[in-house]
Structure formats: structure tokens, C-alpha cells
């Protein structure tokens, strides 16, 4: 099957609810990634550093050879891991809807930092094995540009204010039940915006990841009449929608 290279909007639309792999290093992924992506690193953080240093200090060709030394022994395991990921995804769909017709091709979407050699190498391997592979043109960098462009768009909001503990979350939940569009900054930031806002909340995402989550939430829930959002400090926890 031919590998398809998609621009950011088409990539996000087609990969929604599908297997999405981030082939950057674990450190890059942990800093920030496309929401819903699974970490599937071609190189460890140390291997990536070695390849990058070789590229800068020696040559592109030497860096590729070292990269191949790291890549070669991992090939079989990587194929088997993707088989497992796709199998789990198909099982999850079947559990949710037993009558759902699963895709005939094992589609996999993936990206690296700039849509270069890392995603090309993994895409080649998975395509060779028989997966239908889609890559992101421009990689994660293209996604980040898309996120930043999203924040330049005008959005209409209705802000629900009130003191901490006054029941704002409950009001938002009721509004959502009645068909209103809700942007829950507390949920996205994993912080309630008060002195004890992180109590019993998941780990707070880094600022860049917060922006990624918020941008996709805005794009998915954008409506003509505006969204409801809870009135929060400029910086819920360590994250800010206004930086």
C-alpha cells in the first residue's frame, strides 16, 4: 500500500478516533504531543542525542548510518507492537459497538518532529509489513503552527464567574446537558484555579500541552452562539490560555 502524506487539517480529521503514533523520543512526547497520540519512539532520548550530535559534528550520511544501527534491531518488535496497538484499538471499537464494521485495512497515522526521516523510516517499515500508513506533512511542528494560528481566531465566550466552591462546575455540567457548548479550563489544565486547585486532580500538563488540548477543544466545539467557560484566574495552576 502507498504511504499517504497529509496536510495538518486532513491529518487531524482522518486520524480522529484512529491509531495515532508519535515516533519522536520519549522526552519530546512527554513535553507535549498531539492529543490522543500514543508514544511510539523510534529512538530513545540518548539515541536521538547521539544521532543529532553526529549530524552536526560529522555528516548527514554518518548520522543516517548510526540511526540505522539503532533502528535495525528494533524492526520486528516495532511491527509486533503496532499489531498489538491496532488489535487493542479494534477490540475497543468492537466492545463499544458489536455491530460496527471495522476497517479492512489496518490504518496507522504517525508523525515525528518535522515530518522527516524518523516518520519516513517507521512509515516504510509498517507499509512494508502491510499497514496502511498516513504521515503528517511538516510533523509536530506543523501541528504547533496550527495550534498557534487557532488562538489568533476570534471566538465568542460566555464566562461563568463565581467564588471557589460556589458550584460553577455543576452549573456548567447542567448547561452541557441542555445542549450548550462547554469549555472546561479546569479539566484541561487539571487544576481548579485556587490555592488547592491541584488536589485530587491528574498531573498538570505543561503549558505547550495545555495549549494543544485547548486548541483542539476550541476547534471541535466551535459554534456560532459562543461557548460557555468558567471564569478562572489568568493562569489556572501553571497553565495560561493567555500567554
Do strands 107-111 and 38-39 pair parallel, antiparallel, or not at all (unpaired)?
unpaired
CA separation for the pair 131, 134 (Å, rounded) = 10
| Residue in the block written with cell 459562543 | 226
CA separation for the pair 170, 197 (Å, rounded) = 16
What confidence score (pLDDT) does residue 170 get? 86
Contact assessment for residue 174 and residue 206, using Cβ atoms and an 8 Å cutoff: no
Smallest Cα–Cα separation from 3: which of 131, 95, 99, 153? 131
Residue 84 DSSP SS3: helix
Tell me the domain boundaries of the chain. 4-147, 156-230
Provide CB contacts within 8 A for 60, sequence distance 6+: none
Q: Rounded to two decimals, what is the model's pTM?
A: 0.83
112 an active-site residue? yes
Which positions of the chain have pLDDT values less than 70? 94-105, 191-202, 222-243
Residue 106 has phi, psi (to 5 degrees) of: -80, 85
CATH number of 4-147: 3.40.250.10
> How high does pLDDT run on average in the chain?
85
- The tens digit of pLDDT for each residue in 94-140 reads 656 666 555 545 899 999 999 999 999 999 999 999 999 999 999 99
Provide CB contacts within 8 A for 139, sequence distance 6+: 111, 112, 113, 114, 115, 116, 119
Which of 66, 112, 126, 147 is the catalytic position? 112
Contact assessment for residue 227 and residue 221, using Cβ atoms and an 8 Å cutoff: yes
**Angle ∠(148,152,153) on CA atoms, nearest 5:** 120
Amino acid at each position: 500500500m502507498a504511504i499517504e502524506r497529509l496536510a495538518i487539517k486532513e491529518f487531524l480529521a482522518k486520524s480522529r478516533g484512529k491509531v495515532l503514533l508519535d515516533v519522536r523520543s520519549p522526552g519530546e512526547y512527554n513535553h507535549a504531543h498531539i492529543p490522543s497520540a500514543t508514544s511510539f519512539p523510534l529512538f530513545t532520548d540518548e539515541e536521538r542525542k547521539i544521532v543529532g550530535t553526529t549530524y552536526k559534528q560529522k555528516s548527514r550520511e554518518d548520522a543516517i548510518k548510526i540511526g540505522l544501527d539503532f533502528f535495525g534491531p528494533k524492526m520486528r518488535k516495532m511491527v509486533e507492537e503496532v499489531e498489538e496497538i491496532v488489535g487493542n484499538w479494534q477490540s475497543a471499537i468492537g466492545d463499544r459497538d458489536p455491530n460496527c464494521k471495522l476497517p479492512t485495512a489496518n490504518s496507522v497515522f504517525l508523525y515525528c518532529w518535522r515530518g522527516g526521516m524518523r516518520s519516513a523510516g517507521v512509515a516504510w517499515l509498517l507499509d512494508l509489513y502491510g499497514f496502511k500508513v498516513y504521515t503528517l506533512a511538516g510533523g509536530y511542528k506543523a501541528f504547533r503552527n496550527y495550534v498557534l494560528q487557532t488562538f489568533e481566531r476570534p471566538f465568542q465566550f460566555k464566562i461563568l464567574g463565581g467564588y471557589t466552591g460556589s458550584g460553577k462546575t455543576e452549573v456548567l455540567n447542567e448547561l452541557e446537558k441542555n445542549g450548550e457548548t462547554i469549555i472546561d479550563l479546569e479539566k484541561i489544565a487539571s487544576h481548579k484555579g485556587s490555592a488547592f486547585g491541584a488536589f485530587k486532580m491528574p498531573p498538570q500538563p505543561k503549558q505547550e500541552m495545555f495549549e494543544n488540548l485547548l486548541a483542539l477543544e476550541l476547534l471541535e466545539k466551535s459554534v456560532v452562539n459562543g461557548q460557555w467557560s468558567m471564569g478562572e484566574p489568568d493562569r489556572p495552576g501553571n497553565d495560561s490560555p493567555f500567554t
